[in-house]
Structure formats: C-alpha cells, structure tokens
Structure 1
Amino acid sequence: MEPRGCHLRKRDGPKGEQEERPSGDGNAETHRAPDLVQWSQHMEAVKTQLLEQAQGQLTELLDRVMWEAVQSYPQQGRPLPSIPLDSLSRTREPPLGKQKVFVIRKSLLELVLEFDLLIFSFGQLPLALVTWIPMFLSTVLVPYQALRLWARPGPGGVAWALRAGLGCSLLAAHAAVLCVLPVHVAVAHQLPPASRCVLVFEQVRLLMKSYSFLREAVPGTLRARGGEGTRDPSFSSYLYFLFCPTLIYRETYPRTSNIRWNYVAKNFAQALGCVLYACFILGRLCVPVFANMSREPFSTRALVLSILHATLPGIFMLLLIFFAFLHCWLNAFAEMLRFGDRMFYRDWWNSTSFPNFYRTWNVVVHDWLYSYVYQDGLWLLGGRARGAAMLGVFLVSAVVHEYIFCFVLGFFYPVMLMLFLVVGGLLNFTMHDQHTGPAWNVLMWTFLFLGQGIQVSLYCQEWYARRHCPLPQITFWGLVTPRSWSCHT
C-alpha cells in the first residue's frame, strides 16, 4: 500500500530511463510548475542578453585591434585611409571558432622592394658629398704642408719658431674644418641618418689618418733637423695612404701585381645588397614594433619583450655591417689600390673571450688604438700601468662610438657609451683569454645577442618618442634627457 498523501511519479533519467520519485501534494506541484517555467524563460532571456553583449564587446575589441594594426604599419609619404570602426563591425562575419580562415596576406619575411625607408635614409646625399670635398681637401693639403714647414732646413731661432707656429695654426684650422663643418651641415639641414653616416665616418677616418701621418712622420722630421738625415715622406705616399684601407701610415705597403675588376664590382654589389637588406630588416622587424610603442603605457614586461624581440634584427644588423664594410668595402678599395695586406678582421666568431673579440672584430681600428693609445699610454705612464692604458683604450673607443651614434641619430642617449665602457669593460677584464672552450663562445654570443637587442630597442624607442613628443621649448636638459622615459601619448 502507498502512504497517504504521496504517490510515486516517473521521470526520465539521464539516459532516457524512467525512474520514480516521490511527489508531494498535487495542488502544490501544479502551482510550482508555472513558476519554474517563468524562471527558466527569464534565465534564458538573461543568458541571451549576456551573450549578445559579450559578442558585441568582442567584435568592437577585434575591430580596434585591426585598426591599430593598420595604424602601426604606415606607408611613408602617404596618409592612412580613414576607415571608420562601424564599417568594420558591419562587414565582419560571425566568428567561426577554431576553423581555419583563409585571407589574402603576405609572409612576414617576404622580400618586398619598398624603397621609402631607403630614400628617406639617404635623403640630401648630394649635400653630404659636397660637404665631404672641403674635408678631404683640408686633409690632403694641411697635414703634409705643416710637416714641410717643420722640416724646412734653415737657421733656427725666430724663423723656425714662426714656421712651427704657422704649421700649428694650419693644423688647428684643419681640425676645426673636420670637427665643425660636418656637424653644422647635419644640424642646420637636418640630414637623415644614412647621409649623416657618410659625414661622420669620413670625419672620424680623416682625423685618424691625419693623426697617424703626423705621429709617424714628425719624429723622423725632428731627427732630420738634428742631422740624422731621415728622408721626408713623399706626397704620393701620403696621398696613397688617404685612400688605402689602413689607419697606420707607412712609406710603402705590400702590393699585389694586378687588379681584378670583377672582384671589385662583386664586392660593391654585395655591399649594396647589404644596405638594401638592412633597410628591409628595419622596415619589417623594427618599424611595426616600435613605431607606436611610446603611445602605450610603460611596463617592465613590454620593455623586456621589446628587447627580446630586437635581438634578432640587432644581430642581423651587426653581421650586415661587418660583412658590408669590413669585408666588401675594404676589399674593394684594397683591390683597386693593389693593397696586399687584407687582414681587416680575424675569426672573431670563434672567440671565447671578449679581449680576443675586440682584437679580432675590427683589426683596422684595433691597430690604431693599440699603436697610438695603448702603446703611447704605456710610454707616458712608464710601461707599468697596463690596466690604465687599456682603460684609456676603452674610454676613447666608447666616446667615439657614442659620438657616432649621437651624430647619426640626432640625439644624445648614452646606451652605447654604457654598454661599451661599463659592460664591455667589465667583460673584458672578467672573460679574459684564459677562458677557452665552446661554452665560453656560446656565452659570448649570448651577450652579443642581448647587447644588440638592448641597443636596437632603446634607440628605436627614443627615435619615435622624439617624433611623437616634440619639445615645446628647446633647452639643454630637454635635449640630453631621454624622451622615451616620459613620452606616452
């Protein structure tokens, strides 16, 4: 028998099976059923409304992301098309979940010959070449003429003092031409980076060559006045020295027997290809990332990610500069001038210590620093302060590198100075030549990747920050303070 006031009612189970459950009073169940139905309908309406709101917000977010992506990839010299966000929302189809959607798009590293960046970088190149002419003429005439004034035979006393003073005055004018003229032209005419590279590299090269010629020739000239009979250098040897790929002056150099003009053309073509590839890397891997970075809120995570992102283009740029200049360019001039000694670099890629890397990366500049900074420093300090002489080499090299970056980019941001002088100096004294083995070579390459990433990331951020946030009033501290620290538009 069933208990009074209750009965068993069957309902479907999870698998469609019928199961019985106790039920209360029939009238209470009848009143409760409409409430449950209304509550279910209300919940369905709330769920539908929430889904529609979420879909609308997601669509708006995706439209905004697409619009910012279009803005972050501008075409130089062309205004961006004004596409309203509402039109993007109207034309967007419903999401397809995880299904593959095929659209017309190009590969990220596809070679597209867009010369906008190249044309911008080499803008006003004729002006830079015209500025180079008085710099070169001053280098050709002044140091050699000053040496002739000092070496002219005759009675000593007032006449020789006047000639010596005139020679020093000519050298001071020569230094002013080399130091002031390119800076004035670059600032007054706002030369773009590549045109500035031409001026600053020639400025540094001619200064180093002038110093080497005087440093090597003046002692012999002074000894000749004392009666030792040393022959004065010929003008042809000096003129040859100004073009040959070395910074150490000698009267003669080993020469090859003939000129391979096809080898010259091949090296110039490879150097041009490296320039085009460098512009391609900057346009594809750096500009889209850093163009609008200053418009976003600063965060340590974004900074670290930008540095890691810049390691690959940074090491590419390092290798391209090495191959284009130290191999192709110098070998082309060496072949045209039949210059025999072509060890412009050694196997720096196999280095297991930073001292070895600095000695083998750029042998041409290393020879100059070793001869005229390190050895002369030891001679001045008595031959015992090797650490101080080496520190002097790092100081001179770091200051010149930072000056080159400041000249080319048009702003002062001492990233190179700190990396070269502080980090590079510490690594030079800690990762010394006693460390050998493949692990140290891997560690050296790791530091190279990281250092190049830091340079590319910070310099690119500062470049765009100074364009997005110009100074309302030009002041000294405004010029030397990094704009990327405060520019967040």
Structure 2
Amino acid sequence: MSSHDSSAVRRSGGRTAGGNQRPSENGSIRQHDNHTNMRERTQREEDMQRMKAAVIRYVQTQVNEALERALTDSMQSLSTNTQTHTDETGTNNRHKLEQGKVFIARCSLLDELFEISHIRTIYHMFIAALFLFVMSTLAVDYIDHGRLVLDFDLFYYAFGQLNTVIWAWMLMFGYTLLGPYHVLRVWGGLYHSSRWRTCVSAGSALVLCAAQMSMLGIFPVYVILHYQLPPASRFIIILEQIRFLMKSYSFIRETTPAVLKHTPQKDESLRYPSLSSYLYFLFCPTLIYREVYPRNPYIRWNYVGMNCLKILASLFYLYFILVRLCIPVFRNKSNQPFSTRTLILALFHAAFPGMLIFMLGFYAFLHCWLNTFAEILRFADRMFYKDWWNSTSFSNYYRTWNIVVHDWLYYYGYRDFLWLSGSKLRSVATLSVFGVSALVHEYAFTMGFGFFYPVMFCTFAGIGVVFNFAMNDKRKSPVWNIIMWTCLFIGQGIHVCLYCLEWYAQIHCPRTGTSFWELVTPRSWTCS
C-alpha cells in the first residue's frame, strides 16, 4: 500500500470516527431537550390545573353570589308589588322577614386571590416591608444603644396580667354556655305546661336580663377597672364581652320563636337545641345561630399553622409600626401646645401608619383568625368579607367589609326593626343600626384606652351616616373608588392621631379630679 493510500485510509478512518461521535452528542442533546420540554410541559399542565381550579372556584363564588342577589331582589320586588293587598300582604311580608341567613360552603376571597401570582406579589411586598422595619429597628438600636437585640417591652406592657384575663374569660364563657341555655330550656318547659304563660315569660325574661347584665355587663367592666389592666388585655376582655353578648342574643333570638310555635301533643316533648350545637356555635366564626352548619370533610393542619404564623407576624408588624412610625412622632407632639398647626401635621403623619394598622387588622382578624377557627371546626362558609376594596360607595363598603358583624346587625337590627314597624321607616332602621354600631365601637375604645374621647362615635354616627347616604350604590365610576380610599386614609389618620395625642396627654397631664366634665373633656385640649 502506498503512502498516498494509507493517508487516505487514515483520513477516511478519522471521518468515520468523527461520524460515530457526532450522533452520540446529538442524541444526548436531543435527550436533554426532551427532558426540558417534558418539564416545561409538566409545569404548563400544573399551571393550567391551578388556573382551572381557581377559575372554577371563582365562577362558583360568583354564581352563588348572583343567585343570592337574584333571590333577594326577587323577594324584595315581590314584597313591593304585593303591598296593595291587606291581610295576605302582611302575612307574606312577615314570613319573608323571618327568613334568615343561608350558609353555603365557600372559600375566603383572599385565599382564591393569593393563588394568582400577581396578587401574591403584593403580599410579598408587605413581607419585605416587615423585614425592612426589623432591619431599621436593629440599626437604630445599634447606633443609639450599641446593641442588636430587639426590645419588646411594649408587648410585655400591652399584654400584661394575662392570668387575670384568662380566669375572667373562663367565667364569662362558662356563664354564656350554661346561663342562657338553661334559662330558655326551663322557660320552654314551663311555657307549654303552665296556665300562667305571661307570668312565666316575664319572670324568665327578668332572670335572664339580670344574669346577662351581671355576668356580661358589670363583671367585665369591674375586672378592667379593679385590676387596671393594660390596653391589649382590656381589649381582649371587652371584645369577648361584646362577642358573648351577640352570640347569646342570636341563640335566644333563634330559639325563642321555635318554642313559641311549638304545639305540644300527647307523648311529644319540646325539641330543644342540643348543648353541643350551642357550644359549637360559641366558637365557630359566625354570629348567626344554627343547629347545623355546612362542614368540610377534614382539617388542613398546615393551613392552620400558616395562619397562626401570619397572625403572629401581623402582631410584630403592628409593633414595628407603632415603634417606628407612631410613638416617636406623637411623643414629641405631646410636648407642644395644642394648636391647629400641630393637629394638621400630626394628622398627615398618622395617615399612612393608620392605614397600615387598618389593613393589618383586617388581614389578621377577618382573614387569618376567623379562617383558623373555621378550619379547626371544619366550618365551610368562609365568606367573612367580600371585595370591599373595590367599592365605589360607602354603603357597599359597610356591607362588604365585615360580613360577620353585618349579618348580625342586618338580621337582628335592621330586619327586626322593619318587622316591628311593618316594613316601614327604612331610613330610621338604617340610622338605628349606625347608632348601635357607633355606641358599641365607642364603648370598646373608651374601655380599652381608659379615657373618653368620642372620635369613634362621631366618625360612625356622624361622618359614616353622611357618607352612607351621599356615596350610595348609584356611584359606579372608578373615581369614587379613589375618593373612598382617600376618605379611608384620612379617617384612619384621624383615629390614630387623636387617640395617640390623647394617650400622651393623659400621661403628661393626669386628671386631678373626678367631676363629670373633667372625665369627659379630652386632656389633649388643655395639656401644655
């Protein structure tokens, strides 16, 4: 073989070897591409499944709400069209007003929205702001005091005397569970077996009113004033007092008509609600009593744990807002004489932290806290709020901001008032609901802070009523949503500003007497 042929063979062999390597490299590349495509395809399928589930839940929620609105509107229109009839009309209207809330298995709106990545990003922004508060507090403490340890003295002070709070709550809970239940049970048995029904009813009502006034009226106030509880402990007692009163009233209101309508026959006893159903009602996140609620099949304990962590994080968020944005500003403002300039500057300083506190209160309580108890108790109706942030009117905002309390006020305040007045005086019924809400809010803040400053009453009974009628459901333009949010910012700023100024005024200028005018006159007006 010549040298030319051998070189040709080597070149041919080199090409053959190279040709054997290239297919293997191309095969590995194709295999890698196939794996990448499979992962992308799997990811797309998972995204599609999540989007499908979110869309189904959203459509189901919208359909349920549409059906509920349609039924309500049809009932109202039917009631309006039949007002010309006399006896039959009165019976039909009374029957419609007796129909109560219907519970449906549905999720909370934020749980559905947080499955959307764009909405979840806003949630992540709030978490980043919390980290920023922590880092800024650590930096200030290190620069001013040379330490890197967070100081939570404000927490220890606000939640002091928790042992007193616990035993007081146990007494209130024990009475709420056993007191109204057994009084109504005894009254129901005597009502149908005695000839003196009026005397039995009057005596039972007096006993129940006296017991309610003693254990859920005077006792919580006595504990707060006698033991001089700090603010957070005071609010726990007061809010539980209000909750127990509303729960027990709902139980009495829903049970009494059933006892009155009962017609005893031979070998038939009065069917009374079980104690277990009433015990479940005292803990489930609703203020409307029913013997049976829609229930979920199982408990998601990871969901419960995450909500507990979110509640704890919200408390720390609130702490850092007070420490970084409120206390330094209003501690200095309290040393200045009261003037219009001081008030306006303090108001604008308080608008942003006030709105943050408002949002935290909504998220921590109406979403995390209520969903935690609902999940533990497998309570399926999670509509504790609606999309109040999209409201273009204050009337819609009041209806959707807190569904739990709104239902109680609507069914036991507004509708019962209409039932008593024969479906007349709707404006008076609305004003009465606003008045009750304003009084309860003012009572809670007065007892919680330890001083009387009727800011909450004026904003509810005054500004709130005006906005409810002025910014009504006829306002549909997005501009009204901007106006609503602006009013919310200003309103929360007024609350934080005035209550903080009065808090420090009470410290710097304590009261020297116990006369009526000194007790009701804000110290921030005269303290210098």
TM-score under structure 2 length normalisation: 0.70
Q: Which amino acid in 1 is paired with 2:168?
A: T
Structure 1 residues 376, 162: CA separation in 2 closer, same or farther (over 3 Å shift)?
A: closer
Q: Is this contact kept in 1: 2:338–2:527, CA < 8 A?
A: no
The answer to whether residue 366 in structure 2 is matched with residue 329 in structure 1 is no
Structure 1 residues 250, 406: CA separation in 2 closer, same or farther (over 3 Å shift)?
A: same
- Match for residue 150 of structure 1 among 176, 179, 187: 187
- Match for residue 352 of structure 1 among 392, 413, 416: 392
CA distance in 1, matches of 2:367, 2:298: 19
CA distance in 1, matches of 2:180, 2:357: 36
CA distance in 1, matches of 2:433, 2:321: 32
CA distance in 2, matches of 1:168, 1:422: 34
CA distance in 2, matches of 1:118, 1:242: 28
Q: Give the Å deviation of 1:230.
A: 6.7
Q: Is this contact kept in 2: 1:146–1:171, CA < 8 A?
A: no
Structure 1 residues 164, 423: CA separation in 2 closer, same or farther (over 3 Å shift)?
A: closer
In structure 2, the partner of 1:97 is none
CA distance in 1, matches of 2:386, 2:370: 14
In structure 2, the partner of 1:180 is 218
Structure 1 residues 122, 157: CA separation in 2 closer, same or farther (over 3 Å shift)?
A: same
- Match for residue 355 of structure 2 among 301, 312, 315: 315
After superposition, the C-alpha distances for 1:245-287 in whole angstroms (9 at most, x for unaligned) are: 0000011000000011111111111111111111111111111
In structure 2, the partner of 1:165 is 203
In structure 1, the partner of 2:103 is none
CA distance in 2, matches of 1:105, 1:199: 37
Q: Which amino acid in 2 is paired with 1:205?
A: R
In structure 2, the partner of 1:6 is none
The equivalences for 1:421-460 within 5 A come to 421-460=461-500
In structure 2, the partner of 1:203 is 241
Q: Is this contact kept in 1: 2:453–2:520, CA < 8 A?
A: yes
In structure 1, the partner of 2:430 is 390
CA distance in 1, matches of 2:430, 2:141: 57
Q: Is this contact kept in 1: 2:220–2:237, CA < 8 A?
A: yes
Q: Give the Å deviation of 1:299.
A: 2.3
Q: Is this contact kept in 2: 1:142–1:171, CA < 8 A?
A: no
- Match for residue 289 of structure 2 among 241, 246, 249: 249
Structure 1 residues 160, 376: CA separation in 2 closer, same or farther (over 3 Å shift)?
A: closer
Q: Give the Å deviation of 1:163.
A: 7.5
Q: Is this contact kept in 1: 2:386–2:400, CA < 8 A?
A: yes
CA distance in 2, matches of 1:205, 1:106: 45
In structure 1, the partner of 2:228 is 190
Q: Give the Å deviation of 1:354.
A: 0.3
Q: Is this contact kept in 1: 2:187–2:204, CA < 8 A?
A: no
In structure 2, the partner of 1:417 is 457
The equivalences for 1:466-481 within 5 A come to 466-481=506-521
Q: Secondary structure at the match of 2:384?
A: coil
CA distance in 1, matches of 2:180, 2:467: 38
Q: Is this contact kept in 1: 2:399–2:406, CA < 8 A?
A: yes
- Match for residue 297 of structure 1 among 321, 327, 337: 337
CA distance in 1, matches of 2:441, 2:216: 17
Q: Which amino acid in 1 is paired with 2:182?
A: Q
Q: Which amino acid in 2 is paired with 1:198?
A: I
The answer to whether residue 152 in structure 2 is matched with residue 115 in structure 1 is yes
The answer to whether residue 502 in structure 2 is matched with residue 462 in structure 1 is yes
CA distance in 2, matches of 1:429, 1:159: 44
- Match for residue 168 of structure 2 among 114, 117, 131: 131
After superposition, the C-alpha distances for 1:403-435 in whole angstroms (9 at most, x for unaligned) are: 111011001100010011100100000000010
Q: Give the Å deviation of 1:206.
A: 0.3
Q: Is this contact kept in 2: 1:178–1:207, CA < 8 A?
A: yes
Structure 1 residues 371, 166: CA separation in 2 closer, same or farther (over 3 Å shift)?
A: closer
Q: Is this contact kept in 2: 1:344–1:364, CA < 8 A?
A: yes
Q: Give the Å deviation of 1:475.
A: 2.0
The answer to whether residue 262 in structure 2 is matched with residue 224 in structure 1 is yes
Q: Is this contact kept in 2: 1:402–1:414, CA < 8 A?
A: yes
TM-score under structure 1 length normalisation: 0.75
Q: Is this contact kept in 2: 1:212–1:249, CA < 8 A?
A: yes
Structure 1 residues 390, 230: CA separation in 2 closer, same or farther (over 3 Å shift)?
A: farther
CA distance in 1, matches of 2:153, 2:423: 54
The higher relative CO (CA closer than 8 Å, separation ≥ 6) is in 2
Q: Is this contact kept in 1: 2:232–2:448, CA < 8 A?
A: yes
Q: Give the Å deviation of 1:229.
A: 7.9
CA distance in 1, matches of 2:503, 2:361: 20
Structure 1 residues 258, 446: CA separation in 2 closer, same or farther (over 3 Å shift)?
A: same
After superposition, the C-alpha distances for 1:44-92 in whole angstroms (9 at most, x for unaligned) are: xxxxxxxxxxxxxxxxxxxxxxxxxxxxxxxxxxxxxxxxxxxxxxxxx
Q: Secondary structure at the match of 1:292?
A: helix
Structure 1 residues 163, 299: CA separation in 2 closer, same or farther (over 3 Å shift)?
A: closer
Structure 1 residues 226, 391: CA separation in 2 closer, same or farther (over 3 Å shift)?
A: farther
Q: Which amino acid in 1 is paired with 2:245?
A: L
CA distance in 2, matches of 1:429, 1:387: 10
Unaligned runs of 5+ in 2: 1-139
Q: Give the Å deviation of 1:234.
A: 1.4
**Identity level (%):** 56
Q: Secondary structure at the match of 2:193?
A: coil
Q: Which amino acid in 2 is paired with 1:137?
A: G
Total equivalences in the alignment = 383
The answer to whether residue 443 in structure 2 is matched with residue 403 in structure 1 is yes
Q: Secondary structure at the match of 1:295?
A: coil
Q: Secondary structure at the match of 1:326?
A: helix
The equivalences for 1:267-306 within 5 A come to 267-306=307-346
Q: Give the Å deviation of 1:105.
A: 7.5
Q: Is this contact kept in 1: 2:434–2:461, CA < 8 A?
A: yes
After superposition, the C-alpha distances for 1:127-156 in whole angstroms (9 at most, x for unaligned) are: 111111110000000111011112116632
After superposition, the C-alpha distances for 1:109-132 in whole angstroms (9 at most, x for unaligned) are: xx9732011111101112111111
